[in-house]
């Protein structure tokens, strides 16, 4: 309980929030880097002769040339008629040896005054030669031997005309030159290169919240007693919409923003409701979006989100009889389509 409370007044227990201060820091959002620029390649044009068809050859056939000639053909072979010529002779003579020449030792007598008792030792022998004996006889010598002579006889021939080659067939080789065309080529003179440029780092100045004073202390805040219960926040919502109108923002400024600035420690719940038209799920989601729309607006006006609670109840807390299926006027539905707030106690 708060120390020394005054009778008849209401208090809520609050926890002091952390106190933050805004500080500017420099943040590098992009480091230094190199920017490379490609310098295009350089070319020059040259003409080049390109063979589009290679050299070749063609061959021209020239047929053989003929002439007509007359030819005699043997259709029956002749034969050789032979005439015999007898041998011829001539007279001659021939000396023949009728007795050959001889020689022998002949006894001529005894050697006078031979003193040998053997009579053979005293014999005188002489070697006597006798010439050969000849006889001449008449003979015939061959002058010409027998021989034959041949004479062609018989045989038949015919005469025909025929074609003979004057000039053989031949092939003429003709050279066909290659065909060319001239093209223009782009020849690389200098390849692509890279120019390098250093781009400095980029920085931005950001505002950050730095803890200046740690909260968490218990304090008691005096408030209007009616604020601890739900109070109508008189803002109008279009059917199915969670968008704040300018009039609604003005009401929030007067009712909530001023209160939260005057009482910096209090926390507030924003409760939003819908009418019964539509599905339960859709209405619950719509009411939650509406409550969050109020919270987001207060945050945009400088109120810490920790001090705000957004709660959508959909059609669960109708303030009249206009439940599902019950016919109601538009005004009765508008009463259910409401936003409330209350101060929370920590």
For the cut 70, the answer to whether the pLDDT of residue 83 exceeds it is yes
Check residue 309 and give its pLDDT: 94
Q: Which residue has the tokens 């989601």?
A: 285
For the record, the structure tokens of 284 come out as 């619950």
Of the pLDDT bands very low, low, confident and very high (cuts 50, 70, 90), residue 60 is: very high
Of the pLDDT bands very low, low, confident and very high (cuts 50, 70, 90), residue 218 is: low
Residue 311 lies in a domain: yes
For the record, the structure tokens of 276 come out as 């019964």
CB–CB of 29/199 below 8 Å?
Answer: no
* Mean pLDDT across the chain: 86
Among 122, 145, 168, the domain boundary falls at: 145
Among 120, 145, 170, the domain boundary falls at: 145
CB–CB of 337/276 below 8 Å?
Answer: no
Residue 280 lies in a domain: yes
Of the pLDDT bands very low, low, confident and very high (cuts 50, 70, 90), residue 256 is: very high
Helix (H) or strand (E) holding 323: none
| Section 240-251 average pLDDT | 91
Q: Which residue has the tokens 């230094």?
A: 32
CB–CB of 16/214 below 8 Å?
Answer: no
Non-local CB neighbours of 241 within 8 Å, separated by 6+ positions: none
Check residue 266 and give its pLDDT: 85
CB–CB of 298/308 below 8 Å?
Answer: yes
Residue, of 106 and 257, whose pLDDT is higher:
257
The closest of 235, 311, 303 to 270, measured between CA atoms, is 311
Residue, of 222 and 311, whose pLDDT is higher:
311
Residue, of 57 and 210, whose pLDDT is higher:
57
Number of domains in the chain: 2
Residue 163 lies in a domain: no
- For residue 272, count CB atoms less than 10 angstroms from its CB and return exposed for 0-12, middle for 13-18, buried for 19 or more: buried
Could you tell me how many helices (H) and strands (E) the chain has, helices first?
Answer: 4, 22
The closest of 130, 128, 110, 112 to 120, measured between CA atoms, is 110
| Section 70-79 average pLDDT | 86
Domain assignment of residue 253, given as a range = 224-344
Non-local CB neighbours of 307 within 8 Å, separated by 6+ positions: 17, 260, 266, 267, 268
Residue 245 three-state SS:
coil
Among 130, 145, 160, the domain boundary falls at: 145
Residue 96 lies in a domain: yes
| Most confident among 270-284, 288-302, 328-342 (mean pLDDT) | 288-302
CB–CB of 312/285 below 8 Å?
Answer: yes
**In this prediction, what percent of the chain has a pLDDT beyond 70?**
90
For the record, the structure tokens of 136 come out as 């001449």
Residue 260 lies in a domain: yes
Distances (CA, A) of 162 to 70, 152, 328: 6, 28, 135
Check residue 9 and give its pLDDT: 65
Residue 295 three-state SS:
helix
Residue, of 298 and 127, whose pLDDT is higher:
298
Residue 122 lies in a domain: yes
User: Residue 61: phi, psi to the nearest 5?
Assistant: -85, 125
Q: How far is residue 340's CA from residue 164's CA, in Å, rounded to a whole number?
A: 135
Radius of gyration of the chain (CA): 80
Residue 171 three-state SS:
strand
Check residue 18 and give its pLDDT: 64
Residue 246 lies in a domain: yes
Q: Dump strand ranges (E) for 64-192.
A: 65-76, 79-85, 88-99, 102-110, 123-130, 133-144, 147-153, 156-167, 170-176, 179-190
CATH number, domain containing residue 300 = 3.30.1330.60
Has this prediction a pTM greater than 0.75?
no
Give CA angle at 280 (277, 284), nearest 5°.
Answer: 100
Output the CA torsion 39→41→45→50 (10° steps).
-160
Neighbouring C-beta atoms of residue 135, cutoff 10 Å: 10
CB–CB of 288/339 below 8 Å?
Answer: no
Residue 301 lies in a domain: yes
CB–CB of 182/46 below 8 Å?
Answer: no
Q: How far is residue 266's CA from residue 1's CA, in Å, rounded to a whole number?
A: 16
Of the pLDDT bands very low, low, confident and very high (cuts 50, 70, 90), residue 59 is: very high
- Residue range 149-199, pLDDT digits in tens: 988 887 788 999 999 999 999 999 999 999 999 999 898 889 989 999 999
């Amino acid at each position: 309980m708060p120390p020394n409370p005054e009778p008849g007044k209401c208090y809520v227990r609050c926890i002091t929030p952390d106190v933050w201060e805004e500080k500017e820091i420099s943040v590098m959002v992009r480091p230094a880097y190199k920017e490379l620029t490609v310098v295009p390649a350089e070319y020059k044009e040259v003409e080049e002769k390109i063979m589009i068809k290679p050299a070749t050859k063609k061959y021209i056939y020239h047929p053989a040339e003929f002439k007509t000639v007359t030819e005699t053909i043997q259709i029956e072979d002749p034969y050789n008629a032979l005439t015999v010529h007898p041998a011829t002779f001539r007279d001659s003579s021939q000396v023949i040896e009728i007795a050959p020449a001889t020689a022998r030792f002949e006894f001529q007598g005894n050697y006078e005054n031979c003193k040998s008792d053997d009579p053979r030792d005293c014999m005188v022998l002489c070697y006597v030669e006798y010439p050969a004996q000849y006889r001449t006889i008449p003979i015939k010598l061959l002058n010409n031997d027998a021989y034959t002579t041949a004479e062609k006889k018989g045989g038949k021939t015919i005469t025909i005309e025929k074609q003979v080659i004057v000039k053989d067939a031949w092939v003429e080789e003709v050279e066909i030159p290659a065909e060319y065309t001239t093209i223009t080529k782009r020849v690389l003179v200098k390849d692509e290169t890279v120019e390098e440029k250093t781009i400095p780092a980029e920085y931005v100045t950001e505002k950050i919240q730095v803890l200046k004073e740690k909260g968490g202390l218990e304090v008691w805040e005096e408030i209007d007693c009616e604020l601890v219960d739900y109070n109508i926040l008189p803002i109008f919502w279009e059917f199915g919409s969670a968008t704040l109108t300018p009039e609604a923002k003005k009401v929030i400024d007067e009712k909530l923003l001023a209160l939260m600035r005057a009482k910096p420690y209090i926390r507030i719940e924003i409760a939003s409701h819908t009418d019964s038209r539509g599905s339960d799920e859709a209405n619950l989601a719509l009411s939650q979006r509406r409550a969050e729309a109020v919270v987001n607006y207060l945050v945009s006006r400088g109120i810490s989100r920790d001090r705000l609670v957004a709660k959508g109840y959909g059609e669960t807390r109708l303030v009249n009889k206009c439940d599902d299926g019950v016919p109601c006027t538009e005004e009765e539905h508008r009463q259910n389509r409401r936003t409330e707030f209350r101060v929370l106690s920590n």
